[in-house]
Structure 1
Amino acid sequence: MIRFVEFEEQYIPQMASLLATRHQEERQRFPFLQQRFEEVEQAEERLREEMNKAYVGGLVTLRDDDVIGYLLYEYRHDSTRGRTVYVGYPSFVIHEDEHPRLARLMYTEAGAEWIRNGYFEHVMDVPVGNDELILELLEQSFHFEQRFAALPLGLYRAQPGENSLVKVNELPSDEQAALQKMAPWNSLHQAKAPAWKPITQEALDAERDMLSAYEGKEGTRSFVAEQDGVPVAFHLYTPADARHAMTTPDQAAILVQAATNVELRGQGIGKSIANHSFTQMKNAGHEYIMTDWYTANHLASYFWPKLGFRSYIIRMARTVDARIAWADGQ
């Protein structure tokens, strides 16, 4: 007989054991993940970091006195989604011997609270290696939204098909504000078929604010591709912080943003700037490039894996019809 209880401090050691075991299994598929989190002590420290966030709750599943699963969740107010519940990579684990249907039961239990509190946007970052959990969430009306991926630079080989008319230069750190003019290119592309992602002022403002936050940041590098002296693409990189993330390798850089002029795609510009910038980042001592893309962006979903990026996290999302707040048959 299983029972669901609210998270308490006493359950953390057993939760950490579940997380460490899952991480060990994930590393068999993705060896670049941080090995130290296979140790229960490190997994426990990571869980405590999650629980120390401001608006976090938790559900623990017990069989007798044994923890067989847990679900930690964070209440957020997202600038584009609104009231959102977010479940991070280390925050949803069930025992390897349990039936994966347990994931549905736990979501049902915790989700009822989310809906009562008026949170209809549910977002989860799920390990790509956890096929059974992914299937359970798909059957609970979640959908794929975003992929997070890693490229081992030691295995990268320059892609053929560069655009010979393109020249790639690195921007000086005090000139990164020039990226602001190119910031809308990704949004303009994703507004088209088949992504159909609306271009809201809030989204544009958030994109520009994100770029501004990296101006002058130590270690940040940006590369711009030009054709006939006109910018046609850019890449923005920053060093990854591997101190806390289970999924961030040492000596990794994050490709924060990459964009090509919407009117010039398909002309080898993306390969030109990728070949140049990846070489520069490798020469600087980085061993991995980490990035992400929206799954509905069909060009990105084809382009980045073709370059060698391997997805290790899938972000899944569900929007519950808010009318359930009053149209519930009561």
Structure 2
Amino acid sequence: MAALLATRHQEERRRFPFLQQRFEEVGQAEQRLWEEMRKPYVGGLVTLRDDDVIGYLLYEYRQDVTRGRTVYVGYPSFVMHEDEHPRLARLMYTEVGAEWIRNGYFEHVVDAPVGNDELILELLEQSFRFEQRFAALSLENYRAQPGENSLVKVKELKADEQQMLRKMAPWNSMHQAKAPAWKPITQEALDAERDMLSAYEGKEGTRSWVAEQDDAPVAFHLFTTADARHAMTTPDQAAVLVQAATNIELRGQGIGKSIANHSFTQMKKAGYEYLMTDWYTANHLASYFWPKLGFRSYMIRMARSVDARIAWADGQ
């Protein structure tokens, strides 16, 4: 299994050189797999030809605040031998998916490497959809974007000022409730977003900036040092843009570019070499804005919702 993962990572690095080279070593890949397998509620499938492993699929049962009972398959957890036919992916999914449905888990989520076109195509043909992109920006190559809003002033928040971000927490949800995302705003989701922002208040390695216009906040960026647990998909000296939002009434006025130019420059001065972020693919503004700034997508989250009626309407 570790050899398959190390080989796949080598292939991914040809397309995305910023991924860490050390996981091309079988020992490092094995350690990463053990991290997955030590999680609670984890299962897996290994496919053999004679005594050789030609594919594996690890999965985790979760209770998600939005989806409910969900099966999650992480970035290192679905790998096939490069010489195998891509249809092996759907055969493995068929085998484990039957167990997921029997156990009442109808929401299936897979984090797939963008460089693995064969796996992505097989998942699409099994009714998975694109849901969320994860991307990286090289600060070495970043250049300030033209079109800033001259009326905006950007300031960094002190630790005891970060609680003001909670007041701006609904901005992204309000935007994504509109066309074409049509993502419902639930109280549970809003509470989870505020709780997430609260968790970063005063946390070591966290920095945040607010853009103000006429002394009123109109946008914010929240950063934190990248979590070492995600090192397989995270370069060294990287920070995560955890949350970015602009007042929905003021979008399209260069405010996003203003705060990005300022905060990205400050993060570069602080010694960070890469910024990582993500966005929902149905969010058409984010899907345009972040790649335009130079972010390159290296992983895509794919999801499938199985009609729960199959639990009883199965023809048996």
Into which bin does the TM-score normalised by the smaller protein fall? over 0.9
* Alignment-derived partner of residue 162 in structure 2: 176
- Give the conservation status (yes or no) of the 8 Å contact 1:232–1:264: yes
Q: Deviations over 1:2-32 (max 9, x none)?
A: xxxxxxxxxxxxx000000000000000011
Task: Return the letter of the residue paired with 1:58.
Answer: G
Q: Secondary structure at the match of 1:93?
A: strand
* Alignment-derived partner of residue 11 in structure 1: none
* Alignment-derived partner of residue 288 in structure 2: 302
Query: 2: distance between equivalents of 1:96 and 1:243?
Result: 26
* Alignment-derived partner of residue 278 in structure 2: 292
For residue 219 of structure 1, report the CA deviation from its aligned partner: 1.3
1:163 partnered with 2:149:
yes
Task: Return the letter of the residue paired with 1:208.
Answer: R
Query: 2: distance between equivalents of 1:56 and 1:34?
Result: 25
* Alignment-derived partner of residue 119 in structure 2: 133
Task: Return the letter of the residue paired with 1:59.
Answer: L
1:77 partnered with 2:63:
yes
* Alignment-derived partner of residue 148 in structure 1: 134
Query: 2: distance between equivalents of 1:58 and 1:97?
Result: 21
- Give the conservation status (yes or no) of the 8 Å contact 1:144–1:314: yes
* Alignment-derived partner of residue 258 in structure 1: 244
Query: 2: distance between equivalents of 1:243 and 1:312?
Result: 17
* Alignment-derived partner of residue 17 in structure 1: 3
Paired residues, number: 316
Identity %: 89
- Give the conservation status (yes or no) of the 8 Å contact 1:69–1:93: yes
* Alignment-derived partner of residue 303 in structure 2: 317
* Alignment-derived partner of residue 7 in structure 1: none
Query: 2: distance between equivalents of 1:127 and 1:242?
Result: 19
- Structure 1, unaligned stretches of length 5 or more? 1-14
Aligned equivalent of 1:60, options 46, 61, 65: 46
Q: Secondary structure at the match of 1:246?
A: helix
Query: 2: distance between equivalents of 1:242 and 1:180?
Result: 26
TM-score (norm: length of structure 2): 0.99
Q: Secondary structure at the match of 1:90?
A: coil
Aligned equivalent of 1:42, options 11, 28, 37: 28
Task: Return the letter of the residue paired with 2:223.
Answer: Y
Task: Return the letter of the residue paired with 1:147.
Answer: R
For residue 325 of structure 1, report the CA deviation from its aligned partner: 0.2
Aligned equivalent of 1:281, options 267, 286, 289: 267
Closer/same/farther in 2, CA of residues 244 and 303 from structure 1, 3 Å limit = closer
* Alignment-derived partner of residue 5 in structure 1: none
Q: Secondary structure at the match of 1:245?
A: helix
Aligned equivalent of 2:90, options 95, 98, 104: 104
* Alignment-derived partner of residue 217 in structure 2: 231
Q: Which runs of 4+ in 1 moved over 3 A?
A: none
Closer/same/farther in 2, CA of residues 89 and 155 from structure 1, 3 Å limit = same
Q: Secondary structure at the match of 1:33?
A: coil
For residue 243 of structure 1, report the CA deviation from its aligned partner: 5.4
Task: Return the letter of the residue paired with 2:79.
Answer: V
Query: 2: distance between equivalents of 1:77 and 1:314?
Result: 21
Task: Return the letter of the residue paired with 1:29.
Answer: R
Q: Deviations over 1:206-263 (max 9, x none)?
A: 0000000000100100000000101000000000123552011110000000000000
For residue 174 of structure 1, report the CA deviation from its aligned partner: 1.2
Query: 1: distance between equivalents of 2:227 and 2:85?
Result: 35
Query: 1: distance between equivalents of 2:157 and 2:12?
Result: 38
Query: 1: distance between equivalents of 2:263 and 2:245?
Result: 13
Q: Secondary structure at the match of 2:163?
A: helix
For residue 121 of structure 1, report the CA deviation from its aligned partner: 0.1
Query: 1: distance between equivalents of 2:249 and 2:282?
Result: 19
Q: Secondary structure at the match of 2:231?
A: coil
For residue 165 of structure 1, report the CA deviation from its aligned partner: 0.2
Query: 2: distance between equivalents of 1:198 and 1:212?
Result: 22
Q: Secondary structure at the match of 2:143?
A: coil
* Alignment-derived partner of residue 92 in structure 1: 78
- Structure 2, unaligned stretches of length 5 or more? none
